[in-house]
Structure formats: structure tokens, C-alpha cells
């Protein structure tokens, strides 16, 4: 039986402990804090990262170099026959396309998955891939299964402040100012790899209610299609751990018998949405 390595990037939000538990390899993403290059999971702790954001440090993201990707692939292929590489959605980053082009030099030993996911649902896909490896499924069939199931997932998030969306150019300064004055909270949907406005409401409480209604609808549709046992629930946050724990209990109440996993949003996402962001996700990663 062929030895298959599962590789994803740190946009999945998998911690070192979770990655080790599931035997998943992580390609760390690169971001900049006031012009200084940082490696996610290596350079800064979450606490220090959020502290600097709150202090007004400029943050931005970029892709890992092809050299670092090549180095990681070469190292893994010394031990494994094939690599299943699960990058974040190609709609949100150029990493997927670059990996696909680069993989052509590896004679079919590196299979790049178009997961169309990010954060907790991307992590779910990587964990599902590892389960399929243990079940003896060939690498090509695992890639197909993950891509076939890519759209069976959705995430909804709301931000604490519009400041970071403004800094990233996603909203205009005047719109951000008016939103802050009126306490407007956007709800953003991540589905099929696309980041799109879902609704705008006044106040965080109303935003969370909108997300609860949306995730209940999406979750019920997935349960009807794939069965309750396949449904996975998540609450993700950026420096809002206590609120996330309290909200997770409410989300679980919408799906009796299901447990919501709490995760911290990866730093590469937090750069764009800022501390205080909270979200909920639901997915099915394998039939």
C-alpha cells in the first residue's frame, strides 16, 4: 500500500497538537507586522499578535515562496510515495494555482486538491483525507472525494470593528466611519471558497442571530442529505475565546447531540478581519 502524506497550510487553523494527532503536515503562511516578516505558528504567539494589532501595527499577508514549498515537498517525498496537498481556496489566494503549476515537476507524486475551503472547514478536509488514507483509499480517489465534497460547507463571520476591513481595502473609509457610528455589523459568508457579504445589521447580538439562523438552515440541509452523523459544527474566533465558548453552547442547542469545536481563526485571516471577530461553520467532508 502506498504511503501518502497529508499536507495543508496554516490557513486551516490546525494547531501543532492537532496536526500531530492526525499526522497532518503544515505549510506555515507568511505575514508581515510593520514590515517584519513573520511565520505563522513560529514567530509570534497569538497573544502577542493580537496585542500588536490592537496597538495599531500594520499587518499584511503574502504567500510562502515556491522555494519553501519545494523544500517541504522534497523532504516529505523522502518518506512518502505521494503527497496530497490541501491549500486554502483558490478564490482567496494564488497559492493553489502556484502549487498546481509547480506539482507538474513531480511526476504525479504531488496531488493538489481544489478544496474551495478555508479555516475550520479546510482543517476538516485535511482530517478526512487522513481517515481515507488509513482506510487504504488511493491518493487519486482521495483527491476526487475531497473535491466532490468541497461545497458541502459554509462559514459565517462578523467583525467587532470595521477598521481592519477598511485597512485591507474591502470597504471605503466613509463607509467604515458611518458603520461605526451606527453600530453596523456586517455578516460575511464564506462558501465555495468565496468571501461575500451576507447581510448588514445593527449590533453584534443581531449579527449573531442572523448567523445562527443561517447555520441552522445550512446544517439541516446537510443532515438531510448526508445524515446527522456526518455533520461537523465549529465556532471560530479572533481573540474572543470566552464569547466563543458561551456561543458554542447556543449553537449546540440548535443541533441536539452535536458538539461544536472551538477554534482560533488563523493569523493570516485575522490580519484582514481583526481581533473580536467571531464566526460559525458547518460542513461535511466525506460521504
* Number of DSSP helices (H) and strands (E) in the chain, helices first: 11, 13
Q: pLDDT above 70 covers what percent of the chain?
A: 94
Which ranges constitute the DSSP H helices of 171-266?
173-182, 204-226, 241-254
Q: Does the domain spanning 4-29+64-148 belong to CATH 3.40.50.410?
A: no
For residue 218, name the pLDDT band (cuts at 50, 70, 90).
Answer: very high
User: What are the tens digits of pLDDT across the range 4-19?
Assistant: 999 999 999 999 999 9
Alpha-carbon distance of 193 to 170, in angstroms, equals 17
Which bin fits 257, alpha (ψ -120 to 50), beta or left (φ > 0)? left
pLDDT value at residue 190: 85
User: What are the tens digits of pLDDT across the range 231-252?
Assistant: 999 999 999 999 999 999 999 9
Q: Are 237 and 277 in contact (CB under 8 A)?
A: yes
Which bin fits 23, alpha (ψ -120 to 50), beta or left (φ > 0)? left
Mean pLDDT of 117-136: 96
Q: Which of 46-50, 60-64, 161-165, 264-268 has the lowest mean pLDDT?
A: 161-165
Q: What is the pTM of this model?
A: 0.92
CATH of 153-283, one of 2.102.10.10, 3.40.50.720, 3.40.50.300, 3.30.1180.10: 3.30.1180.10
User: What are the tens digits of pLDDT across the range 135-185?
Assistant: 999 999 999 999 999 999 999 999 998 777 766 555 454 454 445 645 788
Mean pLDDT of 184-209: 88
Which residue bears the cell 451576507? 198
Q: Per-residue pLDDT for 207 more than 70? A: yes
> What residues does each domain of the chain span?
4-29+64-148, 153-283
The C-alpha cell at 257 is: 447531540
Q: CB atoms < 10 A from the CB of 67, how many?
A: 8
pLDDT value at residue 95: 83
- Decide which of 254 and 89 is more confident: 254
Q: CB atoms < 10 A from the CB of 16, how many?
A: 11
Q: Per-residue pLDDT for 52 more than 70? A: yes
Element holding 22 (H helix, E strand): helix 16-22
- Decide which of 63 and 106 is more confident: 106
- Decide which of 191 and 199 is more confident: 199
Q: pLDDT above 90 covers what percent of the chain?
A: 70
For residue 131, name the pLDDT band (cuts at 50, 70, 90).
Answer: very high
Q: Per-residue pLDDT for 253 more than 60? A: yes
Q: 237 forms bridges with which residues in the sheet?
A: 264, 278
Q: How far is CA 41 from CA 49, 67, 143, 278, in A?
A: 11, 19, 27, 20
C-alpha closest to that of 119 among 283, 259, 287: 283
pLDDT value at residue 166: 65
pLDDT value at residue 176: 45
For residue 76, name the pLDDT band (cuts at 50, 70, 90).
Answer: very high
Q: Per-residue pLDDT for 191 more than 90? A: no
Amino acid at each position: 500500500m502506498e504511503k501518502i502524506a497529508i499536507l495543508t497550510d496554516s490557513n486551516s487553523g490546525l494547531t501543532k497538537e492537532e496536526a500531530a494527532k492526525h499526522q497532518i503536515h503544515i505549510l506555515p503562511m507568511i505575514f508581515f507586522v510593520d514590515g517584519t516578516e513573520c511565520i505563522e505558528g513560529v514567530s509570534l504567539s497569538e497573544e502577542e499578535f493580537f496585542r500588536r494589532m490592537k496597538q495599531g501595527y500594520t499587518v499584511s499577508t503574502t504567500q510562502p515562496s515556491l522555494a519553501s514549498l519545494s523544500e517541504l515537498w522534497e523532504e516529505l517525498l523522502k518518506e512518502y510515495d505521494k503527497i496530497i496537498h490541501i491549500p486554502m481556496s483558490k478564490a482567496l489566494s494564488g497559492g493553489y494555482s502556484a502549487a498546481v503549476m509547480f506539482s507538474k515537476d513531480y511526476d504525479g507524486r504531488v496531488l493538489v486538491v481544489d478544496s474551495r475551503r478555508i479555516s475550520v472547514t479546510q482543517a476538516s478536509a485535511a482530517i478526512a483525507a487522513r481517515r481515507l488514507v488509513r482506510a487504504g483509499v488511493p491518493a487519486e480517489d482521495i483527491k476526487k472525494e475531497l473535491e466532490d465534497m468541497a461545497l458541502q460547507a459554509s462559514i459565517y463571520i462578523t467583525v467587532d470593528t470595521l477598521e481592519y476591513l477598511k485597512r485591507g481595502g474591502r470597504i471605503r473609509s466613509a463607509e467604515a466611519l458611518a458603520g461605526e457610528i451606527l453600530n453596523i455589523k456586517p455578516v460575511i459568508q464564506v462558501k465555495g471558497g468565496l468571501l461575500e457579504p451576507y447581510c448588514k445589521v445593527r449590533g453584534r447580538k443581531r449579527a449573531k442571530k442572523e448567523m445562527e439562523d443561517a447555520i441552522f438552515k445550512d446544517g439541516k440541509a446537510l443532515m438531510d442529505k448526508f445524515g446527522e452523523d456526518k455533520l461537523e459544527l465549529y465556532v471560530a474566533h479572533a481573540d474572543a475565546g470566552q464569547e466563543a465558548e458561551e456561543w458554542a453552547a447556543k449553537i449546540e442547542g440548535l443541533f441536539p447531540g452535536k458538539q461544536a469545536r472551538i477554534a482560533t481563526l488563523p493569523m493570516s485571516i485575522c490580519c484582514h478581519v481583526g481581533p473580536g471577530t467571531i464566526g460559525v461553520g458547518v460542513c461535511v467532508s466525506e460521504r
